[in-house]
């Protein structure tokens, strides 16, 4: 592994591009989110020098702090679970909330967005594999939640779906999940729901992002392969 963050970032980016070309996709369709959670602001600043623009954070407090302190504006993605009482800290600091998993959470996002007169882009998080330990709606509930949010909340744009696949040794094991997520996205898209464009499919992490891109991911969230192991 190279010592420099930008070299590692570029290695991941190159693998994404290569995968896209191999499966006939335009590399521009896939955004690489550098997952900077637990890492210091200096790491973000180091990548910003090379015009890296998308960073992922798990904890709302950490996102808020980094947003407030970073030297130039970049896009911060809220990728971790979001409690309703934390929405107010990040609502105008995140470019995309990946982890909307309940009507109740959407209701609070709507309320806080309306207060500030802003529009908020979100993804609905799907626990596709039905793992006990994970947040997200089941694959059967996803369409219902998308419809409810779209019909109730004026300040929310549903942009697509997100999933965190199981931790597996062989990324091939997650292929059926990524494929299923892509089908689910297309299913929902085909319903042409107002304020729902279903253009974003956020899936794939350090261990399985290549397979995720092969199966249609438009955003991959990569931490360890760029920043190294977390404490």
Ligand X SMILES: *Cc1c(COP(=O)(O)O)cnc(C)c1O
Tokens of 224: 């360890």
Binder among 8, 25, 63, 80 for ligand X (CB under 6 A): 80
Residues 113-152 that bind ligand X (CB under 6 A): none
Binder among 123, 205, 211, 213 for ligand X (CB under 6 A): 205
CB of residue 151 vs ligand X: minimum separation in angstroms? 27
Q: Single out the residue of 25, 16, 53, 6 nearest to residue 220, CA to CA.
A: 16
Q: How far apart are CA 136 and CA 93, in angstroms?
A: 22
DSSP string, 45-112: HHHHTTT--EEEESSHHHHHHHHHH-SS--EEEE-S---GGGHHHHTTT-SEEEEE--HHHHHHHHHH
CB of residue 167 vs ligand X: minimum separation in angstroms? 8
- How many residues interact with ligand X (rule CB under 6 A)? 12
Contact 120, 109 (CB under 8 A): yes
- Is residue 39 a contact point for ligand X (CB under 6 A)? no
CB of residue 185 vs ligand X: minimum separation in angstroms? 18
- Is residue 155 a contact point for ligand X (CB under 6 A)? no
Binder among 126, 158, 164, 200 for ligand X (CB under 6 A): 164
Q: Which is nearer to ligand X, 8 or 25 (CB)?
A: 8
Check the CA dihedral 134-189-195-214 and report its sign: positive
Q: Which stretch binds ligand X (CB under 6 A): 13-21, 106-114, 181-189, 219-227?
A: 219-227
Instruction: Give the interface with ligand X as residue ranges (CB under 6 A).
Output: 35, 37, 58, 79-80, 164, 205-206, 221-224
């Amino acid at each position: 592994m190279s010592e420099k963050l930008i070299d590692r970032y570029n290695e991941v980016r190159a693998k994404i591009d290569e995968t896209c070309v191999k499966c006939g996709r335009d590399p521009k369709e896939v955004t690489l989110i550098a997952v900077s959670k637990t890492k210091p602001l200096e790491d973000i600043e180091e990548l910003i020098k090379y015009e890296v623009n998308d960073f992922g954070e798990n904890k709302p407090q950490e996102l808020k702090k980094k947003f407030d302190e970073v030297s130039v504006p970049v896009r911060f993605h809220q990728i971790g679970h979001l409690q309703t009482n934390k929405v107010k800290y990040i609502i105008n600091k995140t470019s995309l909330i990946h982890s909307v998993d309940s009507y109740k959470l959407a209701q609070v996002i709507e309320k806080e967005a309306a207060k500030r007169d802003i529009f908020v882009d979100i993804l609905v998080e799907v626990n596709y594999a039905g793992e006990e330990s994970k947040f997200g709606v089941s694959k059967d509930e996803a369409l219902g939640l998308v419809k409810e949010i779209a019909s109730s909340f004026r300040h929310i744009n549903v942009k697509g779906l997100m999933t965190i696949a199981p931790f597996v040794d062989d990324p091939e094991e997650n292929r059926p999940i990524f494929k299923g997520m892509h089908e689910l996205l297309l299913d929902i898209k085909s319903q042409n729901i107002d304020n729902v464009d279903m253009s974003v499919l956020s899936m794939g992490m350090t261990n399985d992002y290549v397979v995720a891109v092969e199966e249609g991911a438009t955003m991959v969230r990569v931490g360890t392969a760029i920043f190294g192991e977390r404490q």
